Amino acid sequence: MKKTIFEQMGGTYTKVGDYYLPNLLPAEQEEQPIGIWGQRHLRYIKQHHKVRYTNLLTSGKLNSYLADIDKEAEDVLFRLVKQMAEREGVTEQLKADNQMEWVARMNNIRSRATEIVNNDMIYT
């Protein structure tokens, strides 16, 4: 029997009753946990980059792509917070002397770092 174009491209069929139906689902892939950054990026690409989302979903690479984005964003956030705290003199000594000042300044730093990660990695 001659192979169809679908079979030539690596596609397979499943017999259901008297009919052969194409297997259109991507191969099972290992599910990786997706954190807040990956979820934000997923929502963004679903709304604004539908073609990219569809391509990643149908190729079976969406989960690993989002897990990579999530890990990279978390690493960048941690590094930014650390660098900003050092540059602005927010130290453990300040934490011991004036906890409220330390919390206020760290919240400000974390907020700015989050904004940077959102603008540079998540919503692009």
Q: Which two tokens stand for residue 9?
A: 């491209």
Neighbours of 113 (CB within 10 A): 20
- Strands 19-22 and 13-16 turn out to be antiparallel
pLDDT on residue 27: 61
pLDDT on residue 9: 80
* Number of separate domains in the chain: 1
Alpha helices, DSSP H only, in 29-61? 36-48, 50-59
pLDDT on residue 28: 64
C-alpha to C-alpha distance for 120 and 112, rounded to whole angstroms:
12
Residues of the chain with pLDDT under 50: none
| Residue linked to tokens 């052969």 | 20
CB 23 within 8 A of CB 11: yes
70: domain range?
A: 5-122
